A and B are shown apart, each in its own frame.
Chain A
Amino acid sequence: KQEVTQIPAALSVPEGENLVLNCSFTDSAIYNLQWFRQDPGKGLTSLLLIQSSQREQTSGRLNASLDKSSGRSTLYIAASQPGDSATYLCAVHFGGGSQGNLIFGKGTKLSVKP
């Protein structure tokens, strides 16, 4: 069964800290992986997309890495700010017949304290 797991489920850090969110997936035959941000009661905002042939992607203070062989991705947030507080979701396009849809983790709820 293709599954995505995110650890930790919740994280609270003081403003200014660098932090890492973890995502693991059960099948290394992936098409791509997306990281999303979700504010309470809102839709999903795409942060980064990593193709299966790529090792990492960067956007501003965000850096996402992908290691297919170990079934892991990390989202690194530099110099965290209170505005970064949200739930971060990892989603995987697995290969084969499920290529058209994303399998999501349950998310990591991040709280950045001023």
Chain B
Amino acid sequence: DAGVTQSPTHLIKTRGQQVTLRCSPKSGHDTVSWYQQALGQGPQFIFQYYEEEERQRGNFPDRFSGHQFPNYSSELNVNALLLGDSALYLCASSWGPSGPPYNEQFFGPGTRLTVL
């Protein structure tokens, strides 16, 4: 049973560029959440997708956008990159409202984004 997978592992971009990160959820999960983890900090919630729609959003600007596909995989897009966007981006999957009620989240290995 494959867990949550993310690609790429590492990414280096320059300020002003755009980036797309990808996530495949754990088998059987239909909900994907994205988190940003700056160095030395706990992860911060960006947004959550369920049934191909953004269901919840954290305190992140519109430069951060996402998408969920019919197979439940998801993309995170960041436009007009800033130096402060350098972080580890984590994807988590869980069962949505149709599944078990405990909503345990399982995380992928993350994508390390460096903005120069």
Contact = CB atoms under 8 A, between A and B. Distances in A.
Interface string B71-98: 0000000000000000010101000000
A89 interface: yes
A98 B90 contact: no
B40 A101 contact: no
A73 to B, nearest CB: 15
Nearest to A99: B103
Contacts of A93: 103
Contacts, number: 66
Contact of B103 (A32, A41, A45, A97): A32
Contacts of B88: 41
Nearest to A105: B42
Query: Could you say which interface size class chain B belongs to?
Result: 20 to 34
The B interface, classified by DSSP as helix, strand, loop or mixed, is strand
Interface in A39-95: 41-46, 49, 51, 89, 91, 93
Nearest to B33: A101
A107 B42 contact: yes
A111 B109 CA distance: 22
A100 B55 CA distance: 8
Contacts of A45: 107
14 contacts: A4-B42, A31-B103, A34-B104, A34-B105, A43-B110, A44-B43, A45-B107, A89-B42, A98-B56, A100-B48, A100-B50, A100-B56, A102-B92, A106-B42
Given A49-B104, A104-B42, 6 more contacts: A43-B4, A44-B107, A89-B43, A91-B43, A93-B103, A101-B58
